[in-house]
Amino acid sequence: MKRIKIAQLGVGHMHAYKIGALRQFPDVFDVVGVAEDDPAQKAAFGHHDMYRGLPWLSGDELLATPGLDAVLVETEEHALVPAALRCLRAGRHIHLDKPGGEALPPFRALLAEAERRGLAVQMGYMYRNSPAVRFCIDAVRSGLLGNISTFDAVMSRHDGETFRRTIGTFKAGAPYIFLCHLVDLAVILFGEPKRVVPLSTCTRGDGVVDNGLAVMEFARGCTATLRTSIVEAGGFERRNLTICGDRGTLVVQPIELQGNQAGGRVFLTLLEDADGFKKGTHEVPQPPIKGRYDDQLLEFAAIVRGEIANPYPYAHELRVQRHFLDACADWLG
């Protein structure tokens, strides 16, 4: 099995720690180095243990590495799209952390460049590969829940002033960082929305958008409410999904276990026996928990090798980004 020769560009993203997940799979990934051209970002984040023993390169040196297959794009969030485009123009597949920028045209150009070159773009939406979320996706697609009327999703936190200042650097604040995950799940489950209504607010006088809400309408009367907050006591533990149909309801509470490990507790309510599940409310056993990004990065390796098609093609990523920006539109201007 060919090892994927991979490197990381940038260390300033909130999820840049995922290079540690890569290094857990030395039979799959040959991690050749890390680059951070911003001295302030390198000084702030480059000392973490996940980078220990890796060569530090300039961005140009990294992209010129002979035989380099792919790059994790983990710059701080404002710089993601231009950094990703730089990697694509160097002929490298990319795992691009989220979100895909505050405007649609640059992200559309990025996807067009990738498609023109036949390069993979995997977005860092980790819930896509969660076993609990996969169970929900399969349940909706199989018709287990019947006709879906309601999708509610919450992805909140409770944070101090340092994180709040970081969130304040984004026009749409907390919704910009967190609602993208929930919009992605809604689009995976229900396709193209008929409309998206942004309703996010500030709860303090400092102008930071800290209380996010968007409502989406889909075909056949299905509505989705997507919430995120950084001022919610116990917010991380309350992260959840609820999917309601006329035959059954699914609740995932919490979405992740032991902090941010891939897992989640799934509760299924059915009006009648169906697909091997008894009527009533039961917890559905899930596989043992694992690293948040393990399955996604292994999937990326299979895509890069050409073993599987990308399950989330360019058109899906563009649709998610478009409607994510709709969900933040009241603050993006």
34-57 tens-digit pLDDT = 999 999 999 999 999 999 999 999
Q: How far apart are CA 295 and CA 303, in angstroms?
A: 12
Q: Are 229 and 212 in contact (CB under 8 A)?
A: yes
Model pTM score: 0.96
| Residue 26 burial (10 A CB sphere; 0-12, 13-18, 19+) | exposed
Tally of residues, the chain: 333
The token pair that represents 21 in the structure block: 């997940």
In this structure, which topology does domain 127-292 adopt according to CATH?
Answer: Dihydrodipicolinate Reductase; domain 2 (3.30.360)
Q: CATH 3.40.50.720 residue ranges in the chain?
A: 4-124+298-311
pLDDT band at 175, cuts 50/70/90?
very high
Q: CATH 3.30.360.10 residue ranges in the chain?
A: 127-292
Given this model, what pLDDT does residue 2 score?
86
Token look-up 């694509």 returns 88
Given this model, what pLDDT does residue 64 score?
98
**Closest Cα partner for 257 from 286, 232, 228, 297?**
286
In this structure, which topology does domain 4-124+298-311 adopt according to CATH?
Answer: Rossmann fold (3.40.50)
Given this model, what pLDDT does residue 137 score?
98
Given this model, what pLDDT does residue 259 score?
77
The token pair that represents 311 in the structure block: 């399950």
**pLDDT at residue 132 greater than cutoff 80:** yes
State how far Cα 69 lies from the chain centre.
22
